[in-house]
Amino acid sequence: MSEEADRRARQQRPLPVPIIPVVLFLAAPFALFLFTSSDLQLQLPRIRIEYDRRDAPAISAPTAERTTPPYPVPGADSDEERWLGPPPRQLTDPPYSLGAAVSDYDARRAKWLRANPRFPAFVAPGRPRVLVVTGSPPRRCGNADGDHLLLRAFKNKVDYCRVHGFDVFYSNAVLDAELSGFWTKLPILRALMLAHPETEFLWWADSDVVFTDMLFEPPWGKYAEHNLVIPGWHEKVYVAKSWLGINAGSFIIRNCRWSLDLLDAWARMGPRGPVRDRYGKVLGKALSDRASYEADDQSALVYLLVTQRGRWGGKTFLESSYSLHGFWVEIVDRYEEMRRRHRTTPVAGGERWPLVTHFVGCKPCGGQYASYDAARCRHGMERALNFADDQILRLYGFEHESLNTTAVRRVQNDTGGPLDEEIGRLLHPAFRAGRPR
Q: What average pLDDT does the structure give for the chain? A: 80
DSSP assignment of 196-234: -TT-SEEEEE-TTEEE--SS----GGGGTT-SEEEEB-H
What letter would DSSP give residue 5? H
Residue 341: per-residue pLDDT: 87
Higher pLDDT, 186 or 23: 186
Q: Is pLDDT at 223 greater than 60 in this prediction?
A: yes
The pLDDT tens digits for 367-394 are: 667 788 889 999 999 999 999 999 998 8
Return the beta strands (E) in 111-199 as ranges.
122-124, 127-128, 130-135, 167-171
The pLDDT tens digits for 22-33 are: 555 555 555 554
Least confident stretch, 191-195, 281-285, 362-366: 362-366
Residue 166: per-residue pLDDT: 96
Higher pLDDT, 417 or 346: 417
Residue 363: per-residue pLDDT: 86
What pTM was estimated for this model as a whole?
0.77
User: Beta 130-135 vs 167-171: how paired, if at all?
Assistant: parallel
Residue 63: per-residue pLDDT: 38
How far is residue 292 from each of residues 65, 89, 182, 249, 325, measured CA to CA in Å?
14, 19, 16, 21, 25
Domains and CATH numbers, the chain: 105-319 (3.90.550)
Q: Is pLDDT at 354 greater than 70 in this prediction?
A: yes
Mention every residue, 6+ apart, whose C-beta is less than 8 A from residue 252: 130, 201, 202, 203, 204, 218, 223, 228, 229, 230, 324
The pLDDT tens digits for 196-220 are: 999 999 999 999 999 999 989 999 9
pLDDT bucket at 97, cuts 50 / 70 / 90: confident
Q: Is pLDDT at 74 greater than 80 in this prediction?
A: no
Burial (0-12, 13-18, 19+ Cβ within 10 Å), 380: buried
CA distance 425 to 419: 8
Least confident stretch, 35-49, 131-145, 225-239: 35-49
pLDDT bucket at 127, cuts 50 / 70 / 90: very high
Mean pLDDT to the nearest integer, 117-135? 95
Residue 292: per-residue pLDDT: 93
pLDDT bucket at 19, cuts 50 / 70 / 90: low
Beta bridge mates, 229: 252, 317
* Residues recorded for the chain: 437
Q: Is pLDDT at 187 greater than 90 in this prediction?
A: yes
Mention every residue, 6+ apart, whose C-beta is less than 8 A from residue 215: 163, 352, 391, 426
Mean pLDDT to the nearest integer, 7-15? 47
Other residues' Cβ atoms within 10 Å of the Cβ of residue 51: 18
The pLDDT tens digits for 268-306 are: 999 999 999 999 999 999 999 999 999 999 999 999 999
Higher pLDDT, 172 or 369: 172
Residue 333: per-residue pLDDT: 95
Mean pLDDT to the nearest integer, 129-154? 91
Q: Is pLDDT at 174 greater than 90 in this prediction?
A: no
CA 94 to chain centre: 29
Q: CA torsion 29→31→32→38, rounded to 10°?
A: 120
CB 242 within 8 A of CB 236: yes
Return the beta strands (E) in 351-410 as ranges.
356-358, 398-400, 408-410
Residue 433: per-residue pLDDT: 47
pLDDT bucket at 230, cuts 50 / 70 / 90: very high
Return the beta strands (E) in 216-313 as ranges.
228-231, 250-254
For 37, what's the count of Cα atoms within 13 Å in the CB-facing half-sphere?
10
